[in-house]
Structure 1
Amino acid sequence: MSTKESKPNLSHSQVTDIVKRLYGLTASVIRPLPSYDDQNFYVAPSEGGEYVLKVMNSADSENVAVIELQTQSMNFLHQRGLPAQTALPTLTGQLMSLEEFDCGFGTQIYLVRLLTYLPGTTIAKITCGPQILYDVGKMAATLDTVLLQMEHPNTSVLQREDFIWKLTSIPLLNQYVHVMDGDPMQKIIKGVIEKYQVQVMPKLPLFRKCINHGDFNDHNLLVKPDGPSKYKISGILDFADMSYGYFIFELAITIMYMMIESPNPLDVGGPVVAGWESVFPLNEAERDSLYWLVLSRFCQSFVLARYTVIQQPENEEYLMITSRKGLRHLSRLWELGKDEVERIWFQSAQQIRQI
C-alpha cells in the first residue's frame, strides 16, 4: 500500500468524537499539526490541559507491539525526569486504541493515542550556540543510558533487523543508490558505503549496545528560553525509529542532524561530543568510527529521501528539506577527510571540557 493510501485523513468532527468517546473529554480547540505520514492534531479540551491526538497511518498501525513499547518507553523516560511526552489512558485504561475509519480508501484500522502537548520551539528554528549543543549531546546520552534500565517483556520487538533507518543497514543502501545515477554525489555516497563496510563493520562487536531513539533531530527536539540568551531542552518527540543499536549510533545521528541548519556545521561536533562524554565517555573503537557514522547518516538521509520523492513527487519540498543542505555538509566532510574532521571535533570537545 502506498503511503498516500495509508495516511489518515480525519475530519474535525471525527476528532471531536474520538476525544469524547475514548477519553471523556470535550475538545474546545482542534488544530492540525504537521506530520509526514501520520495525522496529528493539537487538542485543548474544555476540561483543561493540552494534548496531541496522534493517528498513526494504517501500515504502521499494524506494528502494535512496537508502538506499545515506544509508548511505554516515553512514560518510563518521563517518570525519570526526561521531557518526553506521555500517553493519556483511555476511559478503559488503555494507552492506545485501534479505530476503524474510511479515509477514502475503504475502511482501515488506525492506531490512536492522546499524548501530552509539550511547549517549546523546535531547535531547527533557533541559532544553536555551544551551550545548547552541549546540552543536546548530554540529553542524547542520558536518554540511552536511562533506557538501559527499562525492563519490559517485549523489548525483543526492537531488534528490527531490516529497518532501513538503522545505522547497521548502511550496506542495504546499495539497493537504492541507483536513484543517484547521473548525480556527481553518487561517487561520494558509494565511497562512504564502502568505508562503512571496511572500517566500521569489523568494529561493531566493540561498540556498547543500547536502545536508540534513532531520530534525535532538530525537528524532534523542543527548546524554550532560559534567561536572556540561553535555551533549555523542553521536549523530546517522535520515538517511531526506536530500535536496538549502539550508543555511538545515537551520537552520530545527533551530530549529523545538528549540522543541518548550522551556519558553521564543522563547529557542531565538538560541543555535542563534549556533552555526550560528560555522561558516557567513548571507547577507542567508537571514537574511531564516529566520522564514518556521521557521513553514513548523511548518505541514508539523502538516498532514502531521493528514493521516496520518486514514490511521492507531490511531497518533494518536505522530503528534501534535510537532504539538500546535508549534501553540502557531506561534500565538505568528505573533502576535509577523517583526520582533519576528527581533529576539529575532538580538540574542541577537549577545550569545552576544560572550561
Structure 2
Amino acid sequence: MEKEGEILLKPGQQIKPHVPNEVVHQLVFKLYNLEVASVKELNSYDDKNFHVTVKSDSALPDIHDACPHGYVLKVLNSLDSKAYNLIDAQNEMMLYLAKTGLPCPRPVKNIDGKSMSLEHLKDAQNQSTDQYIVRLLSFVPGKILFSVPYTKELFFQVGELVAKTDLALMGFKHDGLKGVDRIWNLIAVPKLVDFVYVIADEQKHSLSMEVIENFKSNVIPFLQELESGPIHGDFNEQNILVEADKEDPEKYSISGMLDFGDVHFGYYLFDISIAICYMMIECKSMDMLDAPGHVLAGYNRVRPIPQKEFDLLKDCISARFSQSLVLGAYSYSQNPDPYLLTTAQRGWQCLKTLWDCPKSELYKRWNEIINSYANN
C-alpha cells in the first residue's frame, strides 16, 4: 500500500472507476449479503456513489447497521483506494461525529465485520483494472442545500455547523489524517499551476494565476500562526442537508452533512473559507458579497474567529473559487459530466466580483452583518 502522501492527482491521470448497475447489485450481495431493490447513481467528482434500497435488512452482518432510508454504496477512485488508513480515518470520524449528535452517514460492516474492502473491478472494455475501496454507508435523508432557496438564516446555520464540527473534531485523533497531500486540500492551491492549462479563456486563466500567486505570497507564509486540527474540508452546497419545517414547508433548516472524502488535518480558516465560497456561488436572494457575513456570524457564535484568520478570509475564499473552477474544468476534460461544471456556471463571475472588491470594503460589510446578530 502506498503512503498517504502519495495520493496527489497528477495531470492526465484518470482515476474514476467504471461501475455499471449490475456490478452494484453484485457488490452489495457479495459484501453485505443484501439483495438490491433499487439503484440511483449520485453526483460525484472522482468516485462512484449509489443510493440503494434493499429488499430486506434482516440479512445484514450487524443488524444494528440497518437503515430505514437505504444505503449509499461508495466505490472510491483508484487514487484514494491506495490510502487505506485515510479511509479508515473517514469511517472513524463519521462514527465519532454521530456520537456527538451531528447527523452524518455511518459506515456499515460487511460480512467480514469490516467497514470497507478492496475489490478488483473491470473497465468498460471488460479489462481488469486496479483495486478499489468499496464501502456501504447509511443514507441520511433530506434535501441538499443546493436544491432550496438560500436565506440568511440558512447561511447562519451553515456557519454554526462548520464551527460545531471543527470544535467537535478537536478531540478526534487518527494517524490516517497525518501527511495527507491531496490536490483538493486548500493548502495545495500552489499546485494548481500544473492544471491551469485547461482554462483556455485568457482573462480567466490570468485571474486564476493571480489568485494562486496571491495565496502563495499572502497566506502560505502565515500558516504557522493559525489554529489547526482535523477538518471536514468540503462544506459545499451539495454536502449539506436541509429539512422543511413541519409547520411551514417553505422554511428550511440545516439537518446534516455528507461526504467525508476530503477530511484531513488542516486549518480552521480553510474550513470556513471553503463553506463561504460555495454559499456565494448560488446566492441569488441577496448581494453575494453579503452572504459571507451571515455565514461568519453563525460561525463566530460558536467559535470566535481570531483576527489573524479574519484578515486572510478574502485570500482563502478566492483561492477556493480558483481551485474549484480549475479542477472542475480539468475533471470535465477527463470525464465530460455536466455536474463537474456546476461551479463554473456562476463561479467565474463570483470570483471576479470578490477579487475586485477591496478587503477594507469587504471586511467592513461583513463585520456590520456579524454585529447585527449581537443582540439576537
Q: CA offsets per residue over residues 30-50 of structure 1, 9 Å max, x none? A: 333333332222222222431
Q: Which residue of 2 aligns with 1:294?
A: 317
2:14 corresponds to 1:8: no
Q: Distance in 2 between matches of 1:222 and 1:19?
A: 25
Over 3 Å counting, the alpha-carbon distance change for 1:102 and 1:291 in structure 2 is: same
Q: Distance in 2 between matches of 1:293 and 1:331?
A: 14
Task: Return the offset for 1:319.
Answer: 1.9
Structure 1 regions of 5+ residues with no counterpart? none
Over 3 Å counting, the alpha-carbon distance change for 1:131 and 1:257 in structure 2 is: same
CA RMSD across the alignment: 2.1
Q: Distance in 1 between matches of 2:55 and 2:89?
A: 30
Q: Distance in 2 between matches of 1:33 and 1:307?
A: 20
Q: Which residue of 1 aligns with 2:147?
A: 125
Q: Distance in 2 between matches of 1:43 and 1:176?
A: 35
Q: Which residue of 1 aligns with 2:26?
A: 17
Q: Distance in 2 between matches of 1:69 and 1:311?
A: 29
Q: Distance in 2 between matches of 1:288 and 1:216?
A: 21
Q: CA offsets per residue over residues 131-189 of structure 1, 9 Å max, x none? A: 1111111101111111111133x24x44223x222222222223333444552133333
Asked if the contact 1:222–1:236 (Cα under 8 Å) also holds between the matched residues in 2, the reply is yes
Moved more, 332-341 or 269-278: 332-341
Asked if the contact 2:230–2:266 (Cα under 8 Å) also holds between the matched residues in 1, the reply is yes
How many corresponding residue pairs? 349
Over 3 Å counting, the alpha-carbon distance change for 1:55 and 1:327 in structure 2 is: same
Identity %: 34
- The amino acid of 1:123's aligned partner reads L
Give SS of 2:332's match.
Answer: helix
Asked if the contact 1:167–1:297 (Cα under 8 Å) also holds between the matched residues in 2, the reply is yes
2:367 corresponds to 1:346: yes
2:275 corresponds to 1:258: no
- The amino acid of 2:44's aligned partner reads S
The partner residue of 2:234 within 206, 215, 227 is: 215
Structure 2 regions of 5+ residues with no counterpart? 1-9, 58-67
Q: Which residue of 2 aligns with 1:93?
A: 113
Over 3 Å counting, the alpha-carbon distance change for 1:40 and 1:192 in structure 2 is: closer
**Bigger helix fraction:** 1
Give SS of 2:302's match.
Answer: coil
Q: Distance in 1 between matches of 2:359 and 2:49?
A: 41
TM-score after normalising by structure 2: 0.86
Over 3 Å counting, the alpha-carbon distance change for 1:57 and 1:171 in structure 2 is: closer
Q: Which residue of 1 aligns with 2:266?
A: 245
Give SS of 1:114's match.
Answer: strand
Q: Which residue of 2 aligns with 1:63?
A: 83
Asked if the contact 2:227–2:267 (Cα under 8 Å) also holds between the matched residues in 1, the reply is yes
Over 3 Å counting, the alpha-carbon distance change for 1:106 and 1:233 in structure 2 is: same
The partner residue of 2:349 within 307, 328, 338 is: 328
The partner residue of 2:329 within 278, 281, 306 is: 306
Q: Which residue of 1 aligns with 2:225?
A: 206
